[in-house]
Amino acid sequence: MTPREAVALLQREMNEAVIGQPKLTERFVMGLLADGNLLVEGLPGLAKTRAVRMLAELVDAKFSRIQFTPDLLTSDVIGEERVFVENGKPVARLYKGPIFGNIILADEINRAPAKVQAAMLEAMEERQVSIGGRSFLLPELFMVLATQNPLEQAGTFPLPEAQKDRFLMHVTVDYVDRESELKMIEMVRKEGHHLPRPATKIPQSMIFAARKEIGAVRMEEKIGRYLVELVFATRYPLQYSKQLKVMIDVGVSPRGSLALSRCAQVHAWLRGADRVAVEDIRAVIHDVFRHRLIKSEHTRRNNIRNDDIVDILLQQVPAPE
């Protein structure tokens, strides 16, 4: 099995298990291949948790779920040293928290206090944690999928804008269509509450091999310049249009440039191309910019979404031919 065949199998199996959400499953696979973490936002019951669990079932990976609550402690996430008494003497033993898994579901991350969020996001960025004065590396295959519920914001702790920037993409999930809803009901009726067990698990080596192939996907200079122009149009909007200037307070960071480049490479690889095209950038830019743009007060008052700003951005910045 080649890396491309393995990823195609992964996508196919996920789409069969998570009905009517092809974009969600594609973004999960993209995050895995891009070695990034995803922020997933959607109403309850839209298969966010199921999709994460299915991804971990299909890949030979350890799955961990962290249910974020206001009383959660940092040690509940990263672990701690616990002291036991053996033969009348205190002995310290390391307890590793759920962050040491391969695929982590951070459920309702905005319900945890800022200190716990910071510890979680630091682990995501540094790929290591400190416990008892010692540093411990996290697994090589490591991916956090953090969910947010747009409802019931009372008593939550919204992620700071600078912390959101650490997520590769911000993926939004919506309701499925009627036919998909009917298929979903039939599927759950047959299988119950248990996820289907895959016949074979995709080894982690296949994911690493796919990442290596993705790194070889080329980006021509004109495409690279187009990508940079899109980023700079968010930082210096008046140079591009007065409309953008009124809408944007703070633009996309350099981390966003890197994320857009990497996601465009993955998208090109998934469609079988050996170089990035304009269509690859356009396909992923909303998910990459959605959580990085800080809207002006005028924009918030008029209920203009960040996705609307990105649409205008794509109209204002000319694409190469």
What is the SS3 string spanning the chain? CCHHHHHHHHHHHHHHHCCCCHHHHHHHHHHHHHCCCEEEECCCCCCHHHHHHHHHHHECCCEEEEECCCCCCHHHHHEEEEEEEECCEEEEEEEECHHHCCEEEEECHHHCCHHHHHHHHHHHHHCEEEECCEEEECCCCCEEEEEECCCCCCCCCCCCHHHHCCCCEEEECCCCCHHHHHHHHHHHHHHCCCCCCCCCCECHHHHHHHHHHHHCCECCHHHHHHHHHHHHHHHCHHHCCHHHHHHEEECCCHHHHHHHHHHHHHHHHHCCCCECCHHHHHHHHHHHHCCCCEECHHHHHCCCCHHHHHHHHHHHCCCCC
Model pLDDT, residue 153:
62
Model pLDDT, residue 285:
97
Average pLDDT of the segment spanning 141-153: 84
Confidence of residue 185 (pLDDT cuts 50, 70, 90): confident
Model pLDDT, residue 167:
94
Average pLDDT of the segment spanning 138-165: 82
Model pLDDT, residue 263:
98
Contacts of 115 (CB under 8 A, 6+ apart): 74
Average pLDDT of the segment spanning 278-302: 94
Of 181-185, 206-210, 277-281, the least confident: 181-185
CATH of 3-71+99-193+201-207, one of 3.40.50.300, 3.50.50.60, 3.20.20.80, 3.40.50.1000: 3.40.50.300
Nearest to 23 by CA among 2, 48, 5, 45: 48
Model pLDDT, residue 192:
67
Q: Which CATH superfamily does the domain covering 218-316 fall into?
A: Magnesium chelatase subunit I, C-Terminal domain (1.10.8.80)
What are 222-247's pLDDT values in tens digits?
A: 999 999 999 999 999 999 888 899 99
List every span in the chain annotated with CATH 1.10.8.80.
218-316
Confidence of residue 177 (pLDDT cuts 50, 70, 90): confident
Share of the chain above pLDDT 90, in %: 58
Confidence of residue 155 (pLDDT cuts 50, 70, 90): low
List every span in the chain annotated with CATH 3.40.50.300.
3-71+99-193+201-207
Share of the chain above pLDDT 70, in %: 98
Instruction: Among 103-117, 144-158, 252-266, name the most confident range.
Output: 252-266
Model pLDDT, residue 92:
78
Which amino acid does the sequence have at 154?
A
Confidence of residue 149 (pLDDT cuts 50, 70, 90): confident
Mean of the per-residue pLDDT values of the chain: 90
Model pLDDT, residue 152:
63
Contacts of 260 (CB under 8 A, 6+ apart): 227, 230, 231, 281, 284, 285, 288, 289
The answer, yes or no, to whether residue 142 has pLDDT greater than 90, is: yes
Instruction: Among 32-41, 115-124, 239-248, name the most confident range.
Output: 32-41
The answer, yes or no, to whether residue 199 has pLDDT greater than 80, is: no
The answer, yes or no, to whether residue 114 has pLDDT greater than 90, is: no
Model pLDDT, residue 112:
84
Model pLDDT, residue 48:
86
Rounded Cα–Cα distance for residues 197 and 167 (Å): 30
